Amino acid sequence: MTDQLVIALLFLVNLRMFATSRLDSLIRGVALQAFLLVCLAVVSREGALSWEGWTFLSVTGLVKCAVLPVMMTRALRSAGIRREVEPLVGYRVSLFIGLIVTGFSIWAAAQLPMPDGAADPLVVAAALISMITGLFLIVARRKAISQAIGYLAMENGVYVLAPALAVHGPLIVETGVLLDVFVGVFIMGVIILHIRQEFKHIDIDRLSELRD
């Protein structure tokens, strides 16, 4: 029962991320998404967690819900922007796409052949929609910071799915991924600052001169 509530909240948070134009609310969205995913990992697991599990969960929770959002908020503040004014895909269309994606995720999760008892289809659907939300943000938003948030949202989705799919040593796999994303976002923040200093904006579509 609790897990279904968490999943429903996740869907809502994802939809909000589709529709919001304010970057600080996007960051809050991704932090909330991470928090809900950690909760989901706790409630959907059968049996008690070992102390390693608790340690791992609290570390990921800390990094995803606190460290990374704080880092990005700082980057946002130093870059001096507050909202994404001209996205590549408008917010109403984005919301519509979000609805379609939600439906697609639920359908795809029901179809996906899963190892026996590995995961509830709804959990898989939540993971899928988180990943697709991340990818959508990368594709449809202009600001580099939105893209960083997109990568983070995608990683959140992977994070739910990975323990279910990786049979041996899921925690190690997940720790590796987390480290990658942490470093990735860190570098992204540094690059955003540099782009900002160099070009006075962080619109990535103006970087297309670098294509050849």
Partner 1 sequence: MAFFLLLSLLMYLLSGLASLAMGRHPAWGTRIVPFGSAAASLCALIPVLYVLAGGTPVDLRAAWSLPVGSFHLHLDLLSAWFALPVILVSPIVSFYGTGYLRRHDRPRETDACGFFLQLLTGGMLFVLLASDGLLFLLAWEIMSMSAFFLVVFEHEEHEVQRAGWIYLVATHLGTAFLFAMFVLLGSRCGSFDFGDFDGLGGVADVVFVLAVVGFGAKAGFFGLHVWLPEAHPAAPSHVSGLMSGVMIKTGIYGLLRVMVLANDWPAWWGWVLIGIGIASGLGGVIYALVQHDLKRLLAYSSVENIGIICLGLGMSVFGVHSVGPVALFAMAGALLHVLNHAVFKSCLFLGAGAVIQAVGTREIDLLGGVQKRMPRTAALFLLACAAVCGLPPLNGFVGEFLIYLASYWSVLPQGLPSVNPRVGGFVVISTLALIGGLAAMCFTKVYGAVFLGEPRSGCGSSATDPGRDMSVPVTVLAALCAVFGLGGSLLMLLVASVAARIHPLAMAAPDMAPLREASAVYLNVTLAALVLAAAVYGLWRLRDRLLAGRVVRTGPTWGCGYPHGTPRMQYTGSSFAQPIIAAFRSLLRSELGGDWPAGYLPGRSSFMTHTPGLFMHRFYTPLFAAFARVAVRMRRIQQGGTHVYVFYVVLALVAVLVWSLL
Stretch that binds partner 1, among 11-19, 62-70, 114-122, 137-145 (CB under 8 A): 137-145
Is residue 190 near partner 1 by the rule CB under 8 A? no
Between CA 152 and CA 193 the distance in angstroms is 18
Q: Are 19 and 91 contacting, i.e. CB atoms less than 8 angstroms apart?
A: yes
Closest contact distance (angstroms) between CB of 141 and partner 1 is 7
Judged by CB under 8 A, which stretch of 33-41, 46-54, 59-67, 131-139 contacts partner 1?
131-139
**CB 145, CB 79: distance < 8 Å:** yes
- 147: contact with partner 1 by CB under 8 A: yes
Q: Distance between CA atoms of 163 and 172, rounded to whole angstroms?
A: 10
Q: Is 172 in the site for partner 1 (CB under 8 A)?
A: no
Residue that has been written with the tokens 């996740």 in this structure: 10
Q: Which of 135, 165, 173, 191 binds partner 1 (CB under 8 A)?
A: 135
DSSP 22-33: BHHHHHHHHHHH
Residue 211 touching partner 1 (CB under 8 A)? yes
Q: What is the 3-state secondary structure (H, E, C) of 137-167?
A: HHHHCCEHHHHHHHHHHHHHHHHHHHHHHCC
Piece of 28-36, 47-55, 139-147, 168-176 that binds partner 1 (CB under 8 A): 139-147
Could you tell me which stretch among 65-73, 138-146, 159-167, 192-200 binds partner 1 (CB under 8 A)?
138-146
Instruction: Please give the structure tokens belonging to residue 23.
Output: 């970057």
CB of 62 to partner 1, least distance (A): 28
Point out which residues bind partner 1 (CB under 8 A).
Answer: 88, 108, 111-112, 132, 135-136, 138-142, 147, 204-205, 207-212
